[in-house]
Chain A
Amino acid sequence: MSATLLLEQLINGLQLGTMLFLMASGLTLVFGVMGLINLAHGSFFMVGAYLTAAVTAASGSFLLGVSAGLLGAAAVGAVVELVVIRRLYHRPHLDQVLATFALILIFSEGTRWLFGSSPLWLNTPPWLSGFVTLPGDARYPLYRLVIIGVGISVAIGLYLLISRTRLGMRVRAGESDREMIGALGIDISRLYTAVFALGAGLAGLAGAMVGALQSVQVGMGEPVLILAFVVIVIGGIGSIKGALFGALLVGVVDTLGRVFLPLFFRGFLPPSEATDVGAALASMLIYILMAVILAFKPKGLFAVND
């Protein structure tokens, strides 16, 4: 195992982590401000990827496609908030789970109705398809570095938004005391729509970016959604900082686990068994990590008020 390969896998983990952060930050923000658990967050990921694929194919411009994915998902999020979600804020979590579960079914089958069952074409544009040479003479895809860059920019942007702007102030107020901001005379329903649309837009951006790397198909948001849940539980639900830290942790642990666990077991087991055991354990690794963290910190690493 060379140092180059290790470095490369670390960057891979980092890239998975930043993508997860895009998903998890919206999820955690919505929970932090509105106290809402949203299972349909993965649907916005899918909507973003589909819109990006459709607009890129129609216009030939990837940038236009990604913007459509981001803004379109935000718009869809705003509509969903206005029509369905705002009726759920005062409901128990159970109702929220059920309603957003229903939204998943509606989004998935609706997308299939509109776009058909075949996966859509979406690829990285030529100007992002190059390589960067890492120390040790390994070539690393430029596009993955771009994803990391976008993720970091979003993290910085969110930090500035929340710490420096009026919207951010209200978000912080909402996080610490939900009744309070109503009493301050802030138009709560507009704030909620804005926050929800922001979360949906970020998920759409993640879908748009990752859509160029993977298959754009119905149900693509679900595996990512579950990972995002693990991320925000580890990080502490409602905490953006926790989402960032959790996302990077999950990304790196998952990637390194997949590579090194089978190698590790090959040290003392026959190769086929080592592969079996290693792969089985690798697929469970982040859940084990989560259980261990929660056993010591039941509210996650960066707990905010529940």
Chain B
Amino acid sequence: MKQLARLGLGLLLAGGLATAHAEEVKIGMITTLSGGGSHLGIDVRDAFLLAIEQSGRDDIEVLVQDDARKPDLARNLANEFMQRDDVDIMTGIIWSNLAMAVVPSVVRQGTFYLSPNAGPSDLAGRMCHENYFNVAYQNDNLHGAMGAWMREQGYENPIIMAPNYPAGTDALAGFKHLYEGEVAGELYTQMGQTDYAAEIAQIRASDADSLFFFLPGGMGISFMKQWQNAGVEMPVFGAAFSFDEILIKAVGEAAIGARNTSLWAYDLDNATNHAFVESFREAYGRTPTLYAAQGFDTANLILSALEKAHPDDQDAFREALREADFDSVRGEFRFGPNQHPIQDIYVREVVAGEDGEPTNRLLGIAVEDIQDIYHVDCKM
């Protein structure tokens, strides 16, 4: 019955069909549901809808559209939501480049935007906006936290690697900022690269004592497999973007032993999180990723603010969002002055689970109350 109800809800939402009775709040979600990397968008959407369903409110309409990871398509969908459907709040974008294409014009036209993933530095700094809230992380958070943690653990000469694109260079800059030491070398790979033999040989030939890499999505899968194949004995560190529950299943045992930073872990011990993980597993038959956690928190933040004000009363609603008065699955959650999270970042290790499949296990806190460095550029 519940399945059926959700199916009905989903159809209604996906089709964007207007229902007979007047809806009071409209939320437009643009996310990546097709093509490469679509499991991120699917997790955000599923968890978001789950939270709305659990709230029991029937005066919220969520319109969902697929951007196929194309910036221009996302931009059109945003226009559609704002100009045709007249939505109050938008959310859902996964990728930084799509966010940069869409968010500035959305918030300037007086619509609220809450990011459930992706936090490009410009939106945290010089282009911050009172209608923009980031409920996930600023892009550097996880990399910086790993830098700090590795320093603390006594690694002295890490070699670091990322794809040659803005989020990649930012990732390495973020790492170095909190690592605060010399690195053995920096390697830049091509975007979408599938073969890492050349880089692996270079890493082996270096005198590094550890490897930190940022290779999101399929690139991380390819790299980890080839890394194991090459038999290099060097500890591996990264951010959760290469080690979510779905990706490590695709990597297999090659992922075991890698440590990664995340703002959330499914075995994080708090009541909200237990309830979330359980209900998500029950509803969708899989373990949620951090993207699902972010989608869930985004929805609950919106719900908490809606208790206090309607988005039409912009100032009151904005104030209610700033208070972040909701139970986050990651424990404590609050916003900094640039409306980006100040939060604890955790370290997880990939281990073999009970079924033999790799899974993440929480090791502890890497950095408490991390805040991005760009908030000083934000004039709000």
Contact = CB atoms under 8 A, between A and B. Distances in A.
Contacts of B247: 119
A59 B133 CA distance: 48
Contacts, number: 114
B225 A279 contact: no
A283 B190 contact: yes
Interface residues of A, number: 48
A217 interface: yes
Given A215-B221, A259-B198, A275-B188, A121 B250 contact: yes
Interface stretch (B12-20, B84-92, B201-209): B201-209
A232 to B, nearest CB: 20
Contacts of A119: 218, 221, 246-247, 250
B271 interface: no
A121 B34 contact: no
Given A5-B205, A121-B249, A121-B252, A139 B219 contact: no
Contacts of A131: 230-231
Given A2-B205, A118-B246, A220 B194 contact: yes
Contacts of B253: 123
B201 A12 contact: yes
B42 A117 contact: yes
A197 interface: no
A302 interface: no
Contact of A123 (B192, B220, B254): B254
Contacts of B228: 129
B252 A215 contact: no
B198 A12 contact: yes
A144 interface: yes
A121 B229 CA distance: 15
Interface string B257-276: 00000000000000000000
Per DSSP, chain B at the interface is: helix
Interface residues of B, number: 40
Nearest to A144: B197
Contacts of A224: 194
B252 A5 contact: no
Contacts of B79: none
A67 interface: no
A141 B200 CA distance: 11
Contacts of A8: 201
Contact of A214 (B36, B186, B195, B198): B195
B188 A219 contact: no
B36 A255 contact: no
A279 B164 contact: yes
A283 B188 CA distance: 11
Interface string A179-197: 0000000000000000000
B190 A124 contact: no
Nearest to A259: B198
A118 B250 contact: yes
Nearest to B192: A223
A93 B247 CA distance: 40
Contacts of B251: 121
Interface string B180-224: 000000101010101101100110110000000000011111100
B97 interface: no
A216 B194 CA distance: 10
B43 to A, nearest CB: 10
A286 to B, nearest CB: 12
Contacts of B304: none
A243 interface: no
A21 to B, nearest CB: 15
Contacts of B220: 215
B194 A223 contact: yes
Given A121-B250, A212-B225, A279-B188, A219 B36 contact: yes
Contacts of B204: 138
A255 B194 CA distance: 12
Contacts of B353: none
A46 to B, nearest CB: 12
B287 interface: no
Contact of A215 (B38, B202, B222): B222
A120 interface: yes
B225 A216 contact: no
Contact of B34 (A109, A223, A259): A109
Interface pairs A-B: 8 shortest CB-CB: A215-B218, A214-B222, A215-B221, A12-B197, A117-B38, A119-B250, A141-B229, A214-B194
28 contacts: A2-B205, A5-B202, A5-B205, A9-B198, A9-B201, A117-B34, A117-B39, A123-B254, A131-B230, A139-B230, A139-B231, A143-B229, A210-B194, A213-B222, A213-B225, A213-B229, A214-B225, A214-B226, A215-B194, A215-B219, A215-B221, A215-B222, A216-B250, A217-B221, A223-B194, A258-B190, A259-B198, A259-B201
Given A117-B39, A131-B230, A139-B231, 5 more contacts: A119-B218, A139-B230, A213-B225, A223-B194, A279-B188
